[in-house]
Amino acid sequence: MRAQLDDVRERAEPLAALWASEDTIYGRFGYGMASYVGDASIPAEYSGFARPLARPGTLRLVDRDEALAAFPRVWERVRRRTPGMLARSRSWWELRVLAERPGAGEGGPKRFVLLVEDGVPVGYAIYRHKPRWEQGIPQSELEVVEAVALDGLPTAQIWRYLLDVDWTARFTARLPLDHPLFWLLAHPRHMRFRVLDGLWVRLVDVGAALTARRYAAGGPLVLEVADAFCPWNEGRWRITDGVARRTRAPAQLRCDVAALGSAYLGGVTFSQLVRGGRVEELRRGAARRADAMFASDRHPWCPEIF
């Protein structure tokens, strides 16, 4: 961890993020749990939608080459509105997202489906179908590897396609806490949803990281940050009009860098962290002000583990 964070700093990268292999490790080095995800499991008999669905787009299966040409266009449009989604290089698409790794395709290969409206890609899905029968009755699982689409009808159409695949008893996916399926399904109670920690975030350069993100309100806000592992971050930081600078002004909130990492993407509020004993409110109302500044209109989501 010492080598990693020193290397990140030398490259002038303001933060690091990861999926934790064990939830007790990374907090010791300044990472904070910044989002939640859910492992969803939907029985086929409860996969109907609550409302009739208009289908203005065209859905079709595509091969790997066409997926490589079209899927990144959709990803980029969704990524720019979603905290936590990563930029992907062409190599990342070719060698990781669309490629078949040895042993990863148990039960069937990756399938690629594309949704197009007026000649423009607006959604896609990558999935595997794992066939299994018991006494002639299909007990197969459809694993949604990734389903990305524009808001509204494109998202609904992609999921209607996935939930209509034959020979399927159960559909599984990893989803953010605010996924539209909770509102699309007629029986959301029957979607088993096990909540897990998602992205962990570590601010390596507090000033640069706080300046790099956008804010829903202008501030000002003064944070006192403790960081024993990367002591260059320690001190008081004032955020005004989206810019963070060192200050001698009295702090309004006090926390360690891990708690600040938890709040950074907007999926965890400072008020939650105050209630959980991870942030100290030094001036009344400061947590609410910080919540308003760091707010996001959607929960952070990274569709893949890295």
* Domain locations along the chain: 2-35+201-294, 37-197
**Rounded mean pLDDT of 104-129?**
91
Return the pLDDT at 229: 97
Please give the model's pTM, rounded to 2 decimal places: 0.93
CA dihedral 41, 70, 304, 201 (to 10 degrees): -130
Domain at 2-35+201-294, CATH homologous superfamily: SCP2 sterol-binding domain (3.30.1050.10)
Q: Which two tokens stand for residue 12?
A: 């002038």
CATH of 37-197, one of 3.30.450.80, 2.102.10.10, 3.40.630.30, 3.40.1160.10: 3.40.630.30
Whether residue 193 lies in the annotated active site: no
**Rounded mean pLDDT of 53-61?**
93
Residue 30 has pLDDT above 70, yes or no: yes
The conformation of residue 226, written as its DSSP 8-state character, comes to E
Alpha-carbon dihedral sign for residues 225, 291, 212, 264: positive
Among candidate residues 171, 270, 294, 306, the one labeled active-site is 306
Q: Which two tokens stand for residue 162?
A: 């996935």
Among candidate residues 26, 124, 171, 215, the one labeled active-site is 26
**Rounded mean pLDDT of 224-236?**
98
Q: Give strand pairing partners of 291.
A: none
SS3 173: strand
Is residue 195 within 8 Å of residue 177, measured between CB atoms? yes
Q: Which two tokens stand for residue 206?
A: 């507090």
Residue 104 has pLDDT above 80, yes or no: no
Whether residue 26 lies in the annotated active site: yes
Helices (H), 165-279: 181-184, 206-212, 257-264, 270-275
Q: Which two tokens stand for residue 207?
A: 């000033």
**All residues at 6 or more sequence positions from 98 whose CB lies less than 8 Å from its CB, including other chains:** 64, 67, 68, 71, 110, 112, 126
Instruction: For residues 225 and 306, give the distance between their C-alpha atoms in angstroms, rounded to a whole number.
Output: 28
**Rounded mean pLDDT of 59-66?**
97
Return the pLDDT at 220: 95
**Rounded mean pLDDT of 212-220?**
91
Instruction: For residues 221 and 237, give the distance between their C-alpha atoms in angstroms, rounded to a whole number.
Output: 8
Question: 2-35+201-294 with 37-197: one CATH topology?
Answer: no
